[in-house]
Amino acid sequence: MKFLKTSLLVLLLPLVAFTGAHKFYISVTNVDYSEKDKAVQIITRIFIDDMNAVLKERYGLEPKLGTEKETEMDREYLDKYLRTKFVVEINGKTTPYKFIGKKYDTDMLICYLEIPDVILKELKQIAVQNEILTDIYDEQQNVVHFKVNGKKKSFVLVKSDTKGMLNL
């Protein structure tokens, strides 16, 4: 009987722990190379409420990302924040990316970024410095998954270690 109660607790605890407001701070980023488009394509997922909180803290806004009241200024400051906290290097050089767009999925902000005109045979190294939300959450973890030319590598980036690199 004790085993049954313990098993039930172990199964139900994770379900209860993640209901309501989230208590963990994480973003997930996928960095892929598209041979068809000859581009590095990046998708990053961040909790909307955390992004609104950091924009408020850094820029003194009352952002409404993910709501019907979202403004063009909210979108401009999102782009500005990403460009200061999310940096991509190709072959050791900081490389600008295009902010293709964004969408919302439940409580997540999904951003689409792209670096066009990247020739695969010239791509020797790709690195990401991801400091998103580390300025307001010490426990923020930014997971980065690289998948380029059959090579895969993942990193968990934290405030004290914000850079991950894939050598090809």
Q: What is the pTM of this model?
A: 0.84
Per-residue pLDDT of the chain (168 residues; tens, 9 = 90+): 554 444 434 444 444 444 445 567 999 999 999 999 999 999 999 999 999 999 999 999 999 999 999 999 999 999 999 999 999 999 999 999 999 999 999 999 999 999 999 999 999 999 999 999 999 999 999 999 999 999 999 999 999 999 999 998
Give the span between the Cα atoms of 85 and 166, in whole angstroms.
Answer: 19
Task: Give the number of other Cβ atoms within 10 Å of residue 122's Cβ.
Answer: 8
Strands 141-148 and 26-34, sheet pairing: parallel
Q: Where are the domains of the chain?
A: 21-167
- Helix boundaries (H) for the chain: 2-17, 48-59, 72-85
First-residue to last-residue Cα distance in the chain: 55
